[in-house]
Chains A and B, each alone.
Chain A
């Protein structure tokens, strides 16, 4: 008995030593070096009014729930936070939020419902203000002047009951990525304008590429049962005359055009779209495209800079998503806002962080460094910004934006979105849309009552 105890104890001590030593040895590893390289290109701007802020709030600690801990988004957060801390003396702890939007929502929901003060500033998806409004500080008193610089549509989205509960941080809208080299190879001069064209081109390219690459597929997107699918569905439907999921307070998802569009997508799964697409979120789809295994990708603008470090660098471009007959091309509005928790112990310091992060200078930095879509029109017109972000070119940036029905579903948005994405996920997995959509519409209507 004693021998075993000694053995186990030695083993555990040995393990601890190993962990500590490896941890220490790795302290100066690849991360910071890579950061230095890219930061040399663009540096985060100085904090305006830093001295006054420092005098008042130096030494305070606040926690920021920031972007996914992936590539450039996380790097961007780290750079900005480091600059802010350096300039103002306010210590900012950065916590990346969970990858999936619903998991991020759940994290915040738990935080608010337990009145926890562990989170001060957080990223809010564009569809959450309705749900979290009671727990967020009204930013109008202190940030009204800054708010005027942003696109008023988003400001309105973030104003609930007259209170501005979140400042826009960056916008987002769905766009189409395509392989320029493959289009050229198969004799196409322009990217597809309609869904039918997309289908044809994808099939031709896939047939041509398959012999040399058994994992190649024509078209990938986010088909997992999560919020990202709702964005895709909205684009499919709104661009083919199938409505906007909920119109005028009533669910309209069950209509003939929607049925045929979703059945079209269903027919593509297993043909020009991998069956695995029903498990794909943003990064899985981007992975497939960036590793050279897809011709067309639907994703957010962030993927543009994320793809720069991959095998397809220099071989892809972006355009608006295709449309159906008699309907315009659209892009679902995404984007993130920054809010301050009512339960925070350092609200003024937190507001200063929000002021900094949503300032025009930082938006410009975000746009150039991380290809984030600015929410300040002046920044969106900046030449350097447009140069590094081709999707800000007028022909793409002017695409009609469609919004998810959070204003109708309000606090129940999560549940409503789940009804939609669970239903469509089933369609993509093989069920006929005309069997699934009626119950989806019925459940949505019950929620709206």
Chain B
């Protein structure tokens, strides 16, 4: 994952912030001198952060948008840079490779978010319960997450090796398969192979977020339900799930957005193989290997818009939920 999802300690915090910005603006108060001084101070303290964001993110984004209207090349010698208007964007819409990349990315996102959520929920429930080994469980589960993604990818790639890999060897010894399977090469297993790595790596993180949400639920509720003779299963669905909803929502949002941006594992596993390119891999390949910066910028903008779309969908959904 390119960046970790922020730890949302106050799930309600997120909700209320978004609510507040969605609410009506309160009438402006001229305010006392103290108020104005406070405001000025606040902006001064915010200035460094805003400057960094503007410089490192907003400005390059602007430049990307500008580049997307040109035919700029990586190696300047190939063609002089000139304005090409919407040509690049028209090409993006027609580009079947990009479309395939988007499909691959979405498939990957659905698979990983689903599995990570289910597994993460199980682990969170286990750790939250009085289960004896839970301290070890909790420690162990943090570990895959702390390791650089490319390193995990290398570890798993070696395990998946079609001649010397332990997965094939183990499955053959157990007589589940009769000859080695090329997990990475075969199109039918490729996406699952790479998803398994991401699930391995990120489930702990999901579990942690859900655990934080679980620990807020007061145990009296469960005790009361026990007294009333409600089964554990019903307790889960009637008490846990509803109260966990904010945490679940937030977890899903950030996992989805992370999965949509996936690059590292796919790069290590597949390189520039066509049927397993994600949006980010396709973009990087366009800019660096092919060297078409202008077109790559248009693809970048397209990716930005797609991710933005998901953000909007989620935020709307959350606002509706609040109502």
Binding site for B on A (CB under 8 A): 100, 102, 105-106, 109-110, 112-113, 131-135, 214-215, 224-226, 274-279, 287-288, 291, 293, 411-412, 414-415, 418, 422-423, 425-426, 429-430
Contacts and interface: CB of A to CB of B under 8 A. Distances in A.
Interface string B259-280: 0000000000011111100000
Q: Which 6 A-B pairs have the closest CB atoms?
A: A276-B162, A275-B182, A276-B182, A134-B77, A411-B78, A225-B273
Interface of A is mostly: helix
Given A279-B184, A293-B163, A426-B275, 14 more contacts: A102-B272, A102-B289, A110-B288, A113-B74, A131-B75, A131-B78, A134-B76, A134-B77, A225-B271, A274-B182, A412-B78, A422-B272, A426-B274, A430-B187
B93 interface: no
B274 A275 contact: no
A375 to B, nearest CB: 26
Interface in B275-298: 275, 285, 288-292
A214 B78 contact: no
A225 B288 contact: no
A274 B163 contact: yes
Nearest to A287: B163
Contacts of B77: 131, 133-135, 411
Contacts of A224: 271, 273
Given A274-B163, A288-B163, A429 B187 contact: yes
B291 A275 contact: no
Given A276-B163, A293-B163, A414 B290 contact: yes
Contacts of B290: 414-415, 418
A343 to B, nearest CB: 13
B172 interface: yes
Contacts of A425: 273-274
B180 interface: yes
Contacts of A102: 272, 289
Interface residues of B, number: 31
Contacts of A134: 75-77
B32 interface: no
Contacts of A414: 289-291
A279 B163 contact: no
Contact of B75 (A112, A277, A418): A112
A429 B186 CA distance: 7
Contacts of B179: 214
Contacts of A112: 75
A276 B289 contact: no
Given A100-B271, A215-B163, A422-B273, A105 B289 contact: yes
Contacts of A422: 272-274
B76 to A, nearest CB: 7
A215 B186 CA distance: 16
A100 B78 CA distance: 23
A278 B185 contact: yes
B300 to A, nearest CB: 18
Interface string B286-317: 00111110000000000000000000000000
Nearest to A279: B185
B289 A277 contact: no
A275 B272 contact: no
B244 to A, nearest CB: 30
Contacts of A291: 163
A276 B184 contact: yes
Contacts of A135: 77
A113 B186 contact: no
Contacts of B292: 415
Contacts of B172: 214
16 contacts: A100-B271, A106-B288, A110-B288, A113-B75, A131-B77, A225-B273, A225-B274, A274-B182, A275-B181, A275-B185, A275-B186, A277-B185, A278-B182, A279-B182, A411-B75, A422-B273
A113 B181 CA distance: 42
Contact of A109 (B74, B163, B186): B74
A290 to B, nearest CB: 11
A430 B189 CA distance: 13
Contacts of B184: 276, 279
Contacts of B162: 274-276, 279
Interface string B172-203: 10000011111011110000000000000000
Contacts of B180: 214-215, 274, 276
A214 to B, nearest CB: 6
A102 B180 CA distance: 29
Interface in B137-161: 161
With most chain B CB atoms within 10 A of its CB, the pick from A226, A276, A293 is A276
A148 B292 CA distance: 37
Contacts of A276: 161-163, 180, 182, 184-185
Contacts of B291: 109, 414-415
Nearest to B273: A225
A116 to B, nearest CB: 13
Contacts of A132: 75
A422 B100 CA distance: 13
B298 to A, nearest CB: 16
B186 to A, nearest CB: 5
Nearest to A429: B187
A429 B185 contact: yes
Nearest to B272: A225
Given A214-B179, A429-B186, A109 B288 contact: yes
A253 B40 CA distance: 68
A134 B181 CA distance: 46
Interface string B58-74: 00000000000000001
Contacts of A133: 77
Given A109-B74, A225-B273, A274-B182, A418 B289 contact: yes
